[in-house]
Structure 1
Amino acid sequence: MNRVSFLINCNFSNLSLEEKVNIKTLGRPLPDLNITQVSERKTQQRSFTRRFSRDIYLRNNWICGCEETNLLYCFPCVLFFVAGSSSVDPSWARKGVRDLQHLAAKIKKHDISRGHINSCASFSLLDKPNILTQLSPAYRDNLIKHNDEIRKNRHILMRIISCVKFCGAFELALRGHNETKDSLNKGLLKELINFTAELDVTLKEHLQNSTVFKGTSKMIQNDILECMLYVCRQEISNHIEKSEFVSIQCDETTDVSNDCQMVIILRYFFDRSIHEHFWGFIKVKDKTATGLTTCIENEIDPLILKTPQKLIAQTYDGANLMSGSINGVQAQIKVKYPNAHFVHCYAHQLNLIMQKSVSQNPKVRVFFNNLSAIPAFFSNSSHRCDVLQEIVHRKLPRVATASGNYNIRTVNIVYEHREKLIEVFQEIEQKCEKSVTSNEASGLRRALEDPEFFFWLTLFHKIMPHVDILYNQLQSKSKDSVSLQKDLSIFESSIAKIRNDTDNIKANVELNFESVKRRRTDDNLRSIIAKEVCDTVVTQAKDRFSYRGHLQAANLFDKEAYPKYNKTFPVDILDNVVTFYPMLCKIRLRTELEVIYSRPDISQNIGAMNLLSFILENNLGETFAETIKLLNIIVTIPMITAETERNFSTLKRIKNFLRSTMLNERLNALAMMSINRNLVMEINNFDEKVMERFINMKDRRADFTFKK
C-alpha cells in the first residue's frame, strides 16, 4: 500500500484511519532506481555521467522512489497533495524528479517550501489526537478516568491469575460440580477468589458489581492456563536456544480415562546447571513406532529443527517399540537428528539385573514368593495389623507391584524383626478362629523358622542395601555417565565382597539352627547357589552397564585412569567419541585432554559436572573450548527416565476419577504449574507476562489497555 504508483492513483484522504496508519507504519519506499544522466560542458568540450545513489535517501528522510516510473518523489507530499494547491510543487508530489544535475538545488528549494513543511507536519501528526483536544480539560479528565479504570481491571486480573497459579502449583481442582450463587461448594478457585476478596476491597466491589467481566468463568480459566503454559514454554525455548545441546526423555502410561499419555522431558545444561523440564503430555492415538515418532517430532521440531545437531540423546525404556535399532522410535528419530543417540534407562536395567539374578534358581524364586506373602498376609485384615503393631511396633511395607522391584524394605524389616514376627504368627495361629487364616499363619511361621529361608534372607539383607543405594543415586537429575561409572564400580566390588563372604553367612545360619537336623550337602548347595546369584548380578551389571559407543566419552574422564592416560593417550577411545560426535575438533580436544591429565590442579576434580564447573568458575572456557563441549554433551545425556515417572505421579493426582474428562490443553497447563514450579518462580515478572499474553490473545469485553 505504500507504493508511490498506488498512492498517486488513490485519494489518500478517503482511506480509513487504519489504512492510513498502516501506510505510515510501512514507511517510504526506497527502491534502487536506474537513473543515468549525461551532461556536457560546452566550454571544456567534456561530458559527465551522473547515476542514482542511495545516499540521496540517507541525506533526506522525506525522499522516496518509484520502481515503475523510475522517478524520485516527496513521500509526505504524495500523501497530502491537494489538486489545485499552489503551495505544493507537483513535480515532487505527482510528476516526479529525474534531473540529477540540478537535484541538490531542487531538494533545497522544496525543503523550505510551505507546502512541504505542512505535509510533513500532517504526516507526523497522523493518528495523533488533536492538540486542542489534548489541551481540553474534559479530555484530560476522561483520560485519567479511563486509565484509573484500566488500572483497576489489571489489578483484578492479576489477583485472579495469582489464584489460578496457586491452585495449579498445589494440584488442586479449580472447578466445583455446582458453581451457582447458592451452592455451598462453588469450587476451590471461586472460593479462593472470594476469600481474597475479603482482603481486597477492589476485588470485592468488582465481584459484586461487575456485569461484563467477572473473570471466574471456565473460559477465562482456560485462557489464563493457556497463557501460563505459553510463558513457561517460551522460557524453556529461550533456554534451549542459548544451550549448546539438548536431550529428550519419553515414556508412556494410561491415565484414568484409559487414554495413552506420552510425556516429553527436555534436558539441557544452562546457566551452569542441569535442567530437566516437563514439556507436555501428548495423547497418543497411533501406538506404532511411526505414530510415536510423529508425536515426538511435532513437539521438538519447532525447538531445534533449524539446528538438528543440537539433539544429542534420547532416553527410553527397553521396549523394542522404542529401542529397536531398525524400525524403533529411536531409529526413526535419528533419521532427522543423526546425533540423537539412544540410551536405555539405567534404572530399568538395574531392575532387569535383579530380576535375572533372582529368577534363575527355583530356590531363590520360592524364597521371594514366601517373602512377599508376609506383607500380603497383613494387608487383608486390620485385626492382623493390630497384632503386628502390638508386638513388632511397626507396619510392613506394601507388596511391590512394579516389575523387578523386590521391595528392599521388606527384606530389611523381616530380617531385623524375624523373631517377633514368629511370635505374631504364633499368636494369630492360636487365637484365630478361622482355619484359613490359621493355616496361612502357620505356613508363614514355618517359613521364618526354616534355615534355608533364613539363609536367603541374610544373603539378600546384605545385597539389597547396595541395590538401594545405587537405585537412589540413579534418581539424581545431575547424574552423568562419568559419576555413574564410579557408582557402578563401587556396586560391583560390594557384590563381589558379599560373594566371597557366603561361607561366613552359611556358618552364621548354622549357629542359629544348631538344633535343626540338616544335610551337609544342602548347606553346600546353598553356598554354591548364593555365589551364582552374586556372580549373575556382577556379570549382568558389567554387561548391561558397560559403556559402549557414544557413552565411551565417559572413559576419557575416569580419574583413576588419568596416570595411565598421561603416559599413553587413549587414542582409540577418542577416535570413537569423535565418530559419534563429529562437531568435536579431534586435534584440539586431544591437546586439551593431555593438559588436563598432566595437571593435578585440574585433574583432581572428580566427575564431569565438577570438572565442568571448575573450568567455568576459573574462566578457562576459551582455553578448554573443546573439553567444555564434550563435558556439556556428557552432562546433557540422561542416564535414566526417573523424571518421567515423577511426572506420571503428578498426572495421576491431577487427572483423577473426579476430573477424568479434562482436556489435554488444560491438563498440560496444570501439570506445568506443578511440575515446573521452580521454573515459574525463576521467571521474572511471570504474572505480568501472563497478563500481557492474556490481554493480547483476543478482544476482551473488558478494557486493559492504557491511553496516553
Structure 2
Amino acid sequence: MECGCAIENLLKKNFSLLSFQEKLELVQVGRPTPKLPNMTCVSKCRGRSFSRHFQSSNYDEKSWLCGCSLINKLFCWPCLLFTTSKERGVWTSGYSDLNHLATAMNKHQLTQAHINSVVSLKTFGNTRIEFSLDEQQKIATTRHNQQVSENRKILERLIDCVCFLGTQELAFRGNDESQSSNNKGNYKELLNLLAKYDNKLERHLTTATTFTGTSSSIQNELINAVASVISDCIEEEINKSSFISVMLDETTDIGKKSQLSLVFRYVDGNGLPRERFYKFWDLSADRSAAAISNKIINIIKMKNWGDKLVAQTYDGAAVMASDLNGTQAKVRENFPQAAFIHCNAHVLNLVLSQSVNFISEVKIFFTTLSGMSSFFSHSSKRTHLLDDIVRRRLPTAAPTRWNYTSRMVNTVWAHYNDLINLFEEMIEDPDNWASDAVEARGFRHFLGEFNTKAEIRLKRGETAEEHKIRYRGIYCKVIDTIYNQMK
C-alpha cells in the first residue's frame, strides 16, 4: 500500500498525542509498505562500483518493516507508534543504508524496546486503557474503604481506652515507655492486655508502620478529641437550658501550676440540676481578678450565654469575692443579673474554723490531729506500721472541707486503742524508730490526756471509763451536730 504521509504525520505528531479513535484507525490501517524505487545505495569493491536497490520482498520477511516514499527511508512500524522519546533511535527517525540493511534489521528486532513495542501493537485495542484504569480505581477504592473501616474499628478501641483511663482518673504515660520497659504506662499496657483477646488490635499493633496510636502525641490528640466531644455535649445541654451559673476554684497541681477549674450548673431538659466540669485554665502567669474574670467573660460571650447567666459562686478570697475589684464584681459589670453566692463548703469551713480558733484547747486538738495524719503520710515505713497495727489510714484534713476534719476525728476515735499501741511500739523500739520516737512520744502523750482528764474531771456517779468515753467523743459529737445542721 502507498504511504499517504502517515509516517510523515507521525514524525510531526507523536502517536501518544492522538485521540483513541485516531490511534485505533491508524493501527487498523496498518503499516505503509511503498516500493521505494528511488531508494538506492552505491558501494565500491576492488575498484568497481555496485548499486543496491530496495527490494519489496523485505516487507514480507520483516512484518514490522515499513517505509515512506516522501522521505525515502525505512522505519519500524511498532517502534514508531509505541516507543518513548528516550528509546527512539535510527528506526524511528528513518533508515537508508542498504549496504547493511540485513544486519541492521536482525539486530534491531532483538532489542527490548522493539519487543515491547510489538507487544503493545498486538494488544492495542483489545482492552481500553480507560476501562482498565476504571477497574483498577474501583479495586483501589474498595481496598481503601476496607482499610478505613478497619482503622475506624481500631480507633474505637483506642478511644475506649482513653475514656476508661479518664473515668478511672488514671495517668496515661509512664516514666519509661521503651520496648524493653516492664511498665510502659497505663495506656500502652491496657492496649497490650486487650490485644491478647482481640486479634484485630493485636495485628494492628504488630504490623502498623505509620499509625499505631500509642505515641504521646496521638494520646494527647485522642484526649483532646474526647474532651472536645464532651464539651460539645455540655454546650448542647446548656443551649437548651434557660438559666446557668458558674463555679470557679483555683488550686496548685503537683507540677506547681496554678489551675483554675470552671464548672457550669444548670437545669437540663428533664428538669434535673446538672453540674458539669467544663475546662481548666493555667493561671501561673497571672492570678489577678482581671485575668480570671476575662476568661469567664470571654467564654460566656463567645457562646452567647450572657442572657442565661444568673449566678456565680466562688470562695471568699478577696480576688474572687471582693465587691470592688474582685472577680464577681467584674463579671457583674458585663452580666448584671449574675448574683454572687459564697461557696457553701467554704462558708461551713470558715464558721467552724473561726469558732474553734477561739478555744485554745480545741485549736491545739485539731492541730495535733492534723500533725498525726502528716506524721504517717510522709513516711512509707510509718504508713506500713499503721497498716499492720491499726489497719486503717488516717484521712488528711482539707483546708476548705470541714467534713474531712470530722472524718479524721472519727477515725482517731474509732481506733484510739490501736493508735496508742502503735505509738508505744515505736517508743519501745528505739533501734528501728530512733528518729521518730520523740514525735511518737508526743502523740502518745496527747492520746493519754484523755485518761488524765477523766480522773481530774470525774463527775459524781460517773465511772472513769464512762467519763473517758464521753470526753473522747465530745469533739466528734459537737462537730457532727454542727455539720448536720448546716448541710
TM-score w.r.t. the length of structure 1 is 0.41
Distance 1:179 1:246 in 2: 43
Give the Å deviation of 1:136: 6.0
User: Could you report, residue by residue, the CA deviation over 1:167-200 in whole angstroms, capped at 9, with x for unpaired residues?
Assistant: 3332333334444444444433333333333433
Q: Is the 8 A contact 1:240 1:303 kept in 2?
A: no
Structure 1 residues 432 and 378: CA distance shift in structure 2, 3 A: farther
Aligned to 2:122: none
Aligned to 1:279: 278
Aligned to 1:301: 301
Aligned to 1:623: none
Q: 1:157 aligned to 138, 141, 155, which one? A: 155
Determine whether 1:445 maps to 2:460.
no
Q: Is the 8 A contact 1:251 1:317 kept in 2?
A: yes
Structure showing greater radius of gyration is 2
Name whichever structure is richer in helix by fraction.
Answer: 1
Distance 2:452 2:387 in 1: 18
Give the Å deviation of 1:355: 1.8
Structure 1 residues 289 and 134: CA distance shift in structure 2, 3 A: farther
Determine whether 1:466 maps to 2:465.
no
Give the Å deviation of 1:232: 0.9
Give the Å deviation of 1:250: 0.3
User: Could you report, residue by residue, the CA deviation over 1:42-62 in whole angstroms, capped at 9, with x for unpaired residues?
Assistant: xxxxxxxxxxxxxxxxxxxxx
Give the Å deviation of 1:322: 0.4
Q: Is the 8 A contact 2:413 2:473 kept in 1?
A: yes
Aligned length: 336
Q: Is the 8 A contact 2:386 2:422 kept in 1?
A: no
Aligned to 2:228: 230
Aligned to 1:315: 313
Structure 1 residues 424 and 293: CA distance shift in structure 2, 3 A: same
Distance 2:227 2:217 in 1: 15
Give the Å deviation of 1:252: 0.5
Q: Is the 8 A contact 2:423 2:441 kept in 1?
A: no
Distance 2:300 2:452 in 1: 58
Q: Is the 8 A contact 1:372 1:399 kept in 2?
A: yes
1:145-184 matched pairs, under 5 angstroms: 145-184=143-182
User: Could you report, residue by residue, the CA deviation over 1:358-397 in whole angstroms, capped at 9, with x for unpaired residues?
Assistant: 222445445555666776788899799979987xx66573
Aligned to 2:263: 265
Determine whether 1:288 maps to 2:288.
yes
Q: Is the 8 A contact 2:420 2:444 kept in 1?
A: no
Query: Whose RCO is larger (CA < 8 A, sep 6+)?
Result: 1
Give the Å deviation of 1:294: 1.4
Structure 1 residues 439 and 308: CA distance shift in structure 2, 3 A: closer
In the alignment, structure 1 segments of 5+ residues that lack a partner are 1-131, 474-708
User: Could you report, residue by residue, the CA deviation over 1:581-602 in whole angstroms, capped at 9, with x for unpaired residues?
Assistant: xxxxxxxxxxxxxxxxxxxxxx
1:549-698 matched pairs, under 5 angstroms: none
Q: Is the 8 A contact 1:179 1:185 kept in 2?
A: yes
In the alignment, structure 2 segments of 5+ residues that lack a partner are 1-129, 458-466
Structure 1 residues 344 and 151: CA distance shift in structure 2, 3 A: same
Structure 2 letter corresponding to 1:408: S
Structure 1 residues 146 and 396: CA distance shift in structure 2, 3 A: closer
Q: 1:207 aligned to 205, 208, 220, which one? A: 205
Distance 2:217 2:414 in 1: 57
User: Could you report, residue by residue, the CA deviation over 1:476-515 in whole angstroms, capped at 9, with x for unpaired residues?
Assistant: xxxxxxxxxxxxxxxxxxxxxxxxxxxxxxxxxxxxxxxx
Q: Is the 8 A contact 2:162 2:187 kept in 1?
A: yes
Aligned to 2:340: 342
Q: Is the 8 A contact 1:428 1:441 kept in 2?
A: no
Distance 1:136 1:244 in 2: 56
Distance 1:319 1:216 in 2: 43
Q: Is the 8 A contact 2:159 2:226 kept in 1?
A: no
Give the Å deviation of 1:444: 4.5
Give the Å deviation of 1:459: 4.3
Q: 1:244 aligned to 226, 239, 242, which one? A: 242
Give the Å deviation of 1:313: 0.6
Q: Is the 8 A contact 2:322 2:328 kept in 1?
A: yes
Structure 1 residues 423 and 303: CA distance shift in structure 2, 3 A: closer
Q: Is the 8 A contact 1:245 1:310 kept in 2?
A: yes
Structure 2 letter corresponding to 1:300: I
Q: Is the 8 A contact 1:387 1:424 kept in 2?
A: no
Q: Is the 8 A contact 2:263 2:275 kept in 1?
A: yes
Give the Å deviation of 1:135: 12
Aligned to 2:215: 217
Q: Is the 8 A contact 2:289 2:319 kept in 1?
A: yes
Aligned to 2:41: none
User: Could you report, residue by residue, the CA deviation over 1:199-249 in whole angstroms, capped at 9, with x for unpaired residues?
Assistant: 333333333333333333333222222221111111111111100011110
Distance 2:271 2:419 in 1: 55
Structure 1 residues 212 and 293: CA distance shift in structure 2, 3 A: same
Give the Å deviation of 1:275: 1.1
SS of the residue aligned with 1:308? coil
Determine whether 1:357 maps to 2:372.
no
Structure 1 residues 195 and 365: CA distance shift in structure 2, 3 A: closer
Structure 1 residues 377 and 155: CA distance shift in structure 2, 3 A: closer
Aligned to 1:407: 405
1:344-423 matched pairs, under 5 angstroms: 344-366=342-364, 368=366, 397-398=394-395, 400=397, 402=399, 405=402, 407-409=405-407, 411-412=409-410, 420=417
Distance 1:365 1:154 in 2: 60
Structure 1 letter corresponding to 2:397: A
Structure 2 letter corresponding to 1:148: Q
Distance 2:446 2:328 in 1: 49
Structure 1 letter corresponding to 2:272: S
Q: Is the 8 A contact 2:398 2:405 kept in 1?
A: no
Give the Å deviation of 1:257: 1.7
Distance 1:235 1:142 in 2: 37
Q: Is the 8 A contact 1:374 1:444 kept in 2?
A: no
User: Could you report, residue by residue, the CA deviation over 1:48-79 in whole angstroms, capped at 9, with x for unpaired residues?
Assistant: xxxxxxxxxxxxxxxxxxxxxxxxxxxxxxxx
Structure 1 residues 155 and 371: CA distance shift in structure 2, 3 A: closer
Structure 1 residues 246 and 389: CA distance shift in structure 2, 3 A: same
Distance 2:383 2:157 in 1: 52
Structure 1 residues 342 and 179: CA distance shift in structure 2, 3 A: same
Give the Å deviation of 1:348: 1.0
Q: Is the 8 A contact 1:309 1:338 kept in 2?
A: no
Distance 1:421 1:213 in 2: 56
Give the Å deviation of 1:456: 6.3
SS of the residue aligned with 1:318? coil
Distance 2:303 2:262 in 1: 13
SS of the residue aligned with 1:407? helix
Structure 2 letter corresponding to 1:445: G
Q: Is the 8 A contact 1:268 1:275 kept in 2?
A: yes
Structure 1 letter corresponding to 2:484: I
Q: Is the 8 A contact 1:315 1:342 kept in 2?
A: yes
Give the Å deviation of 1:338: 1.1
